[in-house]
Every structure is written in structure tokens, then in C-alpha cells.
Amino acid sequence: MKVMDKNLGLEEVQKLEGHTDRVWNVAWNPAADGVIASCSADKTVRIWEQSSLTRSWTCKLGHRLGSFDGNTCVWENFATDSESVSVLRGHESEVKSVSWNASGSLLATCGRDKSVWIWEIQPEEDDEFDTIAVLTGHSEDVKMVLWHPTMDVLFSCSYDNTIKIWCSEDEDGDYNCVQTLSELNNGHSSTVWSISFNAAGDKMVTCSDDLAVKIWKTDISRMQSGEGYVPWTHVCTLSGFHDRTIYSVHWSRDGVIASGAGDDTIQLFVDSDSDSVDGPSYKLLVKKEKAHEMDVNSVQWAPDKESRLLASASDDKMVKIWKLASEP
Amino acid sequence: MTLGLINANPVVQAKKEGLVRREDQYRDDGVDPLEIYDYVRDIRDPEHPYTLEQLRVVSEESVTVDDKLDRILITFTPTIQHCSMANIIGLCLRAKLKECLQLHYKVDIRVSPGSHADEVSVNKQLNDKERVVAALENPNLRQLVDECIYSDEI
């Protein structure tokens, strides 16, 4: 089924009920099929598993955590309940986002204290985490951090309306801000809430309180060939689709961008395949009105290529699973 | 250290009685602006022993309701241009409405245009839900907000 087939729609597969307050975020386990984690203002993280028999999801585990307490916790052996926990202390106020790099050796965190921290796991020291960088550059809360899918380049986005790109270019291994995407270079004009990369890692999508979704690109082969940092440039802006803050965007492995916003909708965009004089452009594939009863805070595609499953989290306390499929 | 208030001499007006409801304009199961105004008019100002209505920080014109989309806009007018209590007043409005309204209503809170020196930054803070949650989890701020919104019960 090609992405460009007509009559594609987002079909609700299941509603996962259980959280007792707004759900901020949802993530698919990259290694275990059909396993989702969700975190909520009810101070718990829930793990939901899909039964191989019935294909429906149930909540397998719920863990209580301190919320907004400035700590990042790393959990192991979750499924067997014999978790050993590392607690990473350092941020002065709540940690908003965490991201592992591709090899799993580095963890990045960010928070309302405007800083981005990079931690390195020390396998020789019983998997302790060492702080290798505290990056201050954003002038306001940092909403999300995300490592590039193939290179150790870190991206962060903020209440200060910018996206910053950090990498380590010298032998000291020190991380520095190598580029800032702001309103001056076609960037957003209000808080940037989320970032996502396409599978190839040569394009990035961002979304904002300014009601726009923006696509950016870089010449990835030049960068991978060791030429040093290659800047990202703006490709196109999608506006007029959402009429309230867009909280989350996620790019699927087969090229569909999902967005979730304060207008309660989930929208899907794809490359329009028709390059105009101004360059490539994107178009709306599906608009799901009233996907939730309240703001959609997070949208995440399942990591495999075939299932076309999308998970969403909302202020209405629900996690929902959707499938992108041809409508009858 | 002086104990002077930021605005020591606010202008105070009487509470308006008997505001007439315009029944026809809004759906029965929805909210109308006057109902929302009733929720917020008696919130006490964080600095002075008067209500937001008495200080003309809010008035019945402050509230706009989009009946079809269930969206509400409240604009408020701080008593002076450099009022550092603007954020607190905004938080009080949010906290009060969160209790009184059904959860699905979308509420935008802004200072009335031209009424505050940091208008853009105040508006941005009051409409960032993560910032609002963080502020209301701060015990000192929460206590101050509670004193303002529950003042008629003290």
C-alpha cells in the first residue's frame, strides 16, 4: 500500500485507560514489539503490552515517580520487576525530556532551568553515569532534546523560540552550540515544543506554539564523510492546519509526519512528490478531528515499518492507539 | 526596607449588582460570559483587600466565549503598567476556572492590550501549560493563589 493511496484514514484501534491525570508523553519500546510506556501528571509511568493472542493492550506495570523534582531516573529489568535504578541529579528544576543516542552510550536531558545535560554511561563503573557536559545557551526552558539518529549531534528546542544544535568538534570532546535556528533564519516565532527526524536523518521536522510545522534539511553525506558540521536549512513551513499550540511531531520510518496539538486533532503530512520551483513541499494526508477530548500532548509512530500504528497521549488522561489504513 | 505596596492607592469601585444575562445567545449546556465572570469577579487582588472587580482588573467585558469550540478568552487589566503581580493574577484566574469549569474548555488568559509593559512575556507565560503547572506546584505561589481565590471563605 503506497502512502499516496487515496482514502487513507486514522482508525482508532484502542483507548488505553488507567491514568488519573493528563498524560504528557508516550514512547514505544524499540526492541520489544507492541510495548508502550506512558507518563502522566498522576506521577506514574505505565507500561502497556499488546497480547499476541487477542492483539489488545493491557497495562502491565505502573510505577510511582517523583514528578517535577529535577531528577532523571534510569530503570533496568523493568519487566521482571527487579529494577536497579540510577538517579541522575543535577537539574535545578523539572526535567522535561530525555534522549539516548543511537549507540546507547550517551543520555541527554533538558529542563526548565534552561540547561541541557549530557551524561555518559561508564560500563567499567557498574553503569554509573558521568556528566560530560552542561550546556547553557538557551535563554528559557528547554522543552525537548533529541539525538540525531545516526550521529552524535544533539538537538534541543525551547521556550526561547529557537532550536539549538550541539556537537563535539574538537579533540577535547567538549560540546558546543554549532548552530541556532531562530526567527532570523526562517525559524519559529514562539515556543518550539518538539523535534523529529526522518529515517535517513537528512531531514527534521519541528512544531511550535506559533501554530506552524517546519521542515529542515542538511547534506547528511557531507557530514558523515567527516567534513565537519554541515548547517541545517529551512525547507518549508506548514501553517494554517492547526489553530492551537502544536505540542508534538513525529516522523515515521516510511515518511509520514504526525502532529498533535491543543486543537484536539492529530494530522498527518507527507512529501507532496511534486517539486515546485521553490523546492520540495509537503501536504496534508489526514486530519483527525476530535482525536481526543482535550489537547494532544504527544504522538509517536511504532518503530517498525509495517504496522503503521500511532500512539497518542492527551490531557483527557487517555493513551490511544491508531492505525493508518485505507478507509472502507 | 520599605513595606510600601507596588500600587499604594488603587482606584476602587463598587460591585455591580443585577447584571442581566443574555439568555438567547449561548447554548443551554454551555457557559456564557456572565457565568464565567461570576466565577472570577470576587477573586481577591494579591496585594489589596479588594476584589478584582472592585479594582476594575476584570469586568463583564473581560470574558469572551466561543460557544461552538468551547474556547474562552479572559483579558484582565493590571492596576498599573509595571505591576509585578500580573502573573499572579493570571494564575489565580487559571486556578479558579480550572475548579469551576468542565475540563475540556480551552481558556486563554491575556492582559488587555496596552495595559502592561511586559505584555508579550506575561501572556506567553500564562498560556504555556507546563509553566502554569510548575508555578502552581510551587508551594509559596500555590498558597498565595489559594488565599486570593478562597478569600470569601476565610
Instruction: Decide if B26 is inside a domain.
Output: no
Residues A169 and A246 in one domain: no
B104 contact residues in A (CB cutoff 8 A) = 293-294, 316
Instruction: Decide if A156 is inside a domain.
Output: yes
Instruction: Decide if B68 is inside a domain.
Output: yes
d(CA A148, CA A162) in angstroms, rounded, equals 17
CA distances from A246 to A13, A162, B4, B80, B120 (A): 23, 15, 43, 33, 19
Instruction: Decide if B83 is inside a domain.
Output: yes
Q: Does the CA dihedral B34-B39-B41-B42 come out positive or negative?
A: positive
Domain of residue A300 covers 1-67+240-327
Q: Which of B110, B130, B132, B133 to mutate to test the interface with A (most CBs of A within 10 A)?
A: B130
Q: Is A63 exposed, middle or buried (0-12, 13-18, 19+ CB in 10 A)?
A: middle
Question: Whole-prediction pTM value?
Answer: 0.90
Q: Does the CA dihedral A154-A155-A158-A163 come out positive or negative?
A: positive
Q: Is A236 exposed, middle or buried (0-12, 13-18, 19+ CB in 10 A)?
A: middle
Q: Tens of pLDDT along chain A (328 residues)?
A: 445 557 899 999 999 999 999 999 999 988 878 889 898 888 888 889 888 788 888 887 666 554 455 667 666 544 444 444 667 778 877 788 889 899 989 999 998 889 999 999 887 876 678 899 999 999 999 999 999 999 999 999 999 999 999 999 877 889 999 999 999 999 999 999 999 999 999 999 999 999 999 999 999 999 888 888 999 999 999 999 999 999 999 999 999 999 999 999 999 999 987 666 666 789 999 999 999 999 999 999 999 888 899 999 999 999 999 999 988 7
Instruction: Decide if A74 is inside a domain.
Output: no
d(CA A51, CA A48) in angstroms, rounded, equals 10
Instruction: Decide if B154 is inside a domain.
Output: no
d(CA A184, CA B64) in angstroms, rounded, equals 35
A94 contact residues in B (CB cutoff 8 A) = 134
Our count of domains for chain B comes to 1
Instruction: Decide if A221 is inside a domain.
Output: no
Q: Which three cell numbers stand for residue B154?
A: 476565610
DSSP designation for B141: H
Instruction: Decide if A218 is inside a domain.
Output: no
ipTM of this complex: 0.88
Q: How far is B45 from chain A (nearest CA, A)?
A: 28
Q: Which amino acid is at A219?
A: D
Our count of domains for chain A comes to 2
Residues A248 and A304 in one domain: yes
Question: Within an 8 Å CB–CB cutoff, is residue A271 touching chain B?
Answer: no
CA distances from B58 to B90, B101, B110, B141 (A): 11, 18, 11, 21
Residues A187 and A114 in one domain: yes
CA Rg value for chain B? 15
Q: How far is B134 from chain A (nearest CA, A)?
A: 8
Q: Which of A139, A159, A194 to mutate to test the interface with B (most CBs of B within 10 A)?
A: A159
Q: What is the edge-to-edge ordering of all strands in the sheet holding A57-64? A: A23-28, A35-40, A44-50, A57-64
Instruction: Decide if A268 is inside a domain.
Output: yes
Domain of residue B135 covers 33-149
Pairing of strands B71-76, B106-111: parallel
Residue pair A111/A161 in contact (Cβ under 8 Å)? The answer is: no
d(CA A216, CA A266) in angstroms, rounded, equals 21
**What is the number of helices (H) and of strands (E) in chain A?**
1, 26
User: Where is A251: in which H helix or E strand?
Assistant: strand A246-251
Q: Which residues contact B120 (CB under 8 A, 6 or more apart)?
A: none
Question: Within an 8 Å CB–CB cutoff, is residue A176 touching chain B?
Answer: no
d(CA A46, CA A63) in angstroms, rounded, equals 6
Per-residue model confidence as pLDDT tens digits over B133-143: 999 999 999 99
